Amino acid sequence: MSYDETWQREMQRYLAHFHRAGKRPTILFNQPLPSPGWTPAMDMYETSEALVIVLDLAGVEADRTEVHAEPHMLVVRGVRRERRSPARDDQQRSYHALEIPYGRFERSVQLPPGLDTAEARASYHEGLLEITLPKRIARQVPISIEDATPAS
């Protein structure tokens, strides 16, 4: 592998580090206050039957998370509370790393046309929130044939 290829690969790896969720604070300039504190990572894929969105919500209580599916927008809101060991709450802490984001979050996703948001389903398992938005089935429109003979 040439020096240029190695350098390019290392640079891509370095930049990818900063694009991962939680590695740096998200700055939102056009949000009304209070703005979300962090943005969860997301995967989105499509099957022949549905659009599936998976959000990484490890440590977030599923029953305190809101999912709103509108015809052109999906919004997920919630909060991740900081976890502390009950036996050590009164002890002084000196952090060596503090990368896990805590606080309120909100993630909005533009949805493509043709989804049946009224039939959306969400499930939470092992820290992943999976939202399935089925595709609408095209409806066959019958064509009526009118008699083309002129009336006398």
Q: What pLDDT is stored for residue 99 in this prediction?
A: 86
| % of the chain exceeding 70 in pLDDT | 75
Residue the block writes with tokens 């991740």: 80
CA 119 to chain centre: 18
In the predicted structure, residue 31 carries a pLDDT above the cut 50: no
Q: What pLDDT is stored for residue 27 in this prediction?
A: 47
Q: What tokens appear for 25 in the block?
A: 């604070």
Cα distance between residue 58 and residue 102, in whole Å: 11
CATH assignment, 35-82+102-138: 2.60.40.790
Cα distance between residue 121 and residue 119, in whole Å: 7
Strand order in the sheet with 66-69: 66-69, 73-80, 103-110
CA 59 to chain centre: 16
Q: What tokens appear for 146 in the block?
A: 């009118």
Give the total residue count for the chain: 152
In the predicted structure, residue 86 carries a pLDDT above the cut 70: no
**Maximum mean pLDDT: which of 61-65, 84-88, 119-123:** 119-123
20-29, 69-78, 125-134, 138-147: which range is least confident on average? Answer: 20-29
Task: Write out pLDDT tens, residues 88-137.
Answer: 656 777 878 888 888 999 999 999 999 999 999 999 999 999 999 999 98
In the predicted structure, residue 1 carries a pLDDT above the cut 70: no
Q: What pLDDT is stored for residue 85 in this prediction?
A: 65
Cis peptide preceding 34, ω within 30 of 0: yes
Domain layout of the chain by residue ranges = 35-82+102-138
In the predicted structure, residue 36 carries a pLDDT above the cut 70: no
Nearest of 2, 112, 129 to residue 56 by alpha carbon: 129
Q: What tokens appear for 60 in the block?
A: 């977030």
Reported as a pLDDT band with limits 50, 70 and 90, residue 76 is very high
Cα distance between residue 49 and residue 98, in whole Å: 41
Reported as a pLDDT band with limits 50, 70 and 90, residue 37 is confident
